[in-house]
Amino acid sequence: MGDCFMLLKRLRILPKFILLLLLRAPFDALRTWMQVWLIKSVFLCLEMKAADRLPVVCAGGGLFCAALFLYNGTIWSIYAAFAAGTEARLQKGMRDKIMSLSYKQVHGHNSGEWLTRLNSDIQAAITMMNGPLNLPHSVAALINTLLSSLLLLNGSPALSGVTWLFLLPHLLVSCRLVLKRLPGLREESRCAMANVTMSVTTLIADAEAIRLYDAGSLMLEKCEQDSHRLLKINMKMHIRSGLSDMICRLLGIGGYLAVLMVGLAMTHRGMMAFSDVVYCFQARGGVLTGVSMLVTCASNIRMNRVGVKKINKAFSE
């Protein structure tokens, strides 16, 4: 995130960005708390045979949910306008920077590199700041995970321990398969894309010279090799993401069954009421959602960070 903050500081919009992040951050945590409170209150009314309280409980939950989503929609509308303005400023700033460079500096990189910076790298920076499952969602997911963990621990330390017993291996595997390797693959993919762009540009711009020297087959072969390399790198990224998703689902189902069995045993022994078990399941769902979102956000941020670093490097030249 340091590279993103450095870029925003260059654009002189860092304080506004931090303010919008803080305003957006509590939404997921408050929604989890509302769901936990609502589900426990409903089952508690059923256990106590107080069905007359259900309309009040449901109405209170509905009003809180409507207010929460209205607040979230308002913040995101402001944030979307901010992101659109930031993208326009980045595009203009990058074009002005390229125009201000000397002839030697411009030709120090091939044309595909500059096209990548003007398009892919800027898009990566905007995606990191505004895209789904990136920086804004990572902050919200962190707060949601902390609150959900506290709610689960308050409901049952035993079920909290079982939940984290299955979550920790998932975090370890995700870090090894995804977070550690994907940023390097993303950089390789970006370089391969620049080479493909350069090859295609050469085929179009120098078509007459290529026909004159009968180098069409050679140039097409080079373009094909660059395309195959880009495809292989992207396939490696998809395979690692797919393996991480499969392991996440297996451990999620295993953890669900383990919590169900432990909760059933505690209910039979009179250590917990059924409403408490449902409460813990809902809090566990918030923990799983928060952790899964954190892992995905961390992976996306590290991949998009490559583009942000390239933009900072261009502004520093």
**CATH code for the domain of 297:** 1.20.1560.10
CA dist 41 and 61 (Å) reads 10
Q: How many domains does the chain have?
A: 1
Coil, strand or helix: which one is 12?
coil
Q: Give the pLDDT of the chain (317 residues) as one tens digit per residue.
A: 677 777 778 778 888 888 988 898 888 889 888 888 888 888 888 777 777 888 888 888 889 989 998 998 899 889 888 888 888 888 787 777 777 766 666 565 555 555 556 667 777 788 888 877 788 888 899 999 999 899 888 888 888 888 888 888 877 777 776 666 776 777 777 777 777 777 777 777 777 777 767 777 777 777 778 788 888 888 887 787 777 777 777 777 888 888 888 888 888 887 887 778 888 888 888 888 888 888 788 878 877 777 777 777 777 76
What pLDDT shows up at residue 111? 53
Report H helices in 101-215: 103-106, 111-116, 122-130, 135-155, 157-174, 182-205, 207-212
Task: Determine how many CB atoms are found less than 10 A away from the CB of residue 141.
Answer: 24
| 63: Cβ contacts below 8 Å, ≥ 6 apart | none
CA dist 267 and 89 (Å) reads 59
CA dist 216 and 212 (Å) reads 9
- Domain hosting 245: range is 2-316
Q: What is the pTM of this model?
A: 0.71
Which two tokens mark 180? 């550690």
| Tens-digit pLDDT profile for residues 234-265 | 888 778 777 777 777 777 788 888 888 888 88
Which two tokens mark 150? 């506290």
Coil, strand or helix: which one is 164?
helix
